[in-house]
Amino acid sequence: MDLKSFITSLSLPWRGDCINCGGKNSLSISIVDGSILYYCFRASCKLRGKTEYTLSILELKNYNSPKEEIKFIIPNFWVSPLQNKFCYAYLQRYNLIDFYSKHVDRIRYDPREHRCVFILKDDEGVIKGAVGRSLAFKTSPRWFVYTRNDGTPFYINSTGSNVCILVEDCISASYLIDNNLNSAALLGTNIPADTVKYLLDYDKLYIALDPDAISKALQLQHQLSIYKPTYIINLPCDPKYLKQEQIKELFKDVLND
């Protein structure tokens, strides 16, 4: 069966065994802006790309059968991070008090879980979920995803720039955003298929992970390069640990892009 026939036999989005290499649950096929994107996550497989044909309105309706999305409502017991000394100290440690003052709708404190919570919103401001960082010692998991609808990353496009820096966690993203750099937290070191659509509005993508994650950065670059020019920024440490002068130097090409 050829690729087009295979895709048109599916209900998209779809994830399953690759028809090229046979990889178990390694092929992802999704719809972005009326086109079909397909990608095999096995490094040895070359099946990846974007279809040359687009879907008709009728086909889009058939493929995108409505899925009931669980709406996320911020609990009324979550409070300002400034109301808890541990949460305040956590934000202060990473120089994010000023960030919070500009984006008070994006950070909360969860007193029941004792977590600093980052609110996930899409580009229209719709709340899509939340992820929280534990403030307790040796709590597992350190990062807890309350809800994450539609693969939404943690991001704020406030600079008007056409480039975006991809980082691992919300702290790093917030820190870079506060230094006038568009950034998106992947909430890990993987990019789900439905997250890609949030990155397509940018002309260029930059990956800035911890230096120990260089192999993962290369894999992400390989994955994203089929959609947008994607580059890796070599860093001495995770972005949230950089000093402001280091950010200006390490990201000078991005700032001038």
Report the pLDDT value the prediction gives residue 85, as an integer from 0 to 100.
96
pTM of the model: 0.73
Q: Which residues of the chain are modeled with pLDDT < 70?
A: 1, 31-35, 52-70, 159-160, 257
The verdict on 30 and 94 lying in the same domain is no
Residue 111: other Cβ atoms inside 10 A: 14
The verdict on 237 and 112 lying in the same domain is yes
Asked whether the beta carbons of 116 and 135 are under 8 A apart, the reply is yes
The verdict on 44 and 127 lying in the same domain is no
Average pLDDT of the residues of the chain: 84
Query: Residue 187 domain-assigned?
Result: yes
Strands 107-110 and 48-54: unpaired
91: phi then psi, degrees, rounded to nearest 5: -65, -40
Report the pLDDT value the prediction gives residue 240, as an integer from 0 to 100.
92
Report the pLDDT value the prediction gives residue 61, as an integer from 0 to 100.
47
Query: What domain range includes position 123?
Result: 81-255
The verdict on 210 and 247 lying in the same domain is yes
Maximum Cα–Cα distance for the chain, whole Å?
A: 61
Report the pLDDT value the prediction gives residue 57, as an integer from 0 to 100.
47
The verdict on 59 and 90 lying in the same domain is no
Query: Residue 74 domain-assigned?
Result: no
- Per-residue pLDDT of 205-235, as tens digits, reads 999 998 888 888 998 998 888 888 999 999 9
Q: How many domains does the chain have?
A: 2
The verdict on 18 and 141 lying in the same domain is no
Query: Residue 70 domain-assigned?
Result: no
Q: How many CA atoms lie within 13 A of 164 on its CB side?
A: 22
Query: Residue 189 domain-assigned?
Result: yes
The verdict on 116 and 89 lying in the same domain is yes
Query: Residue 68 domain-assigned?
Result: no
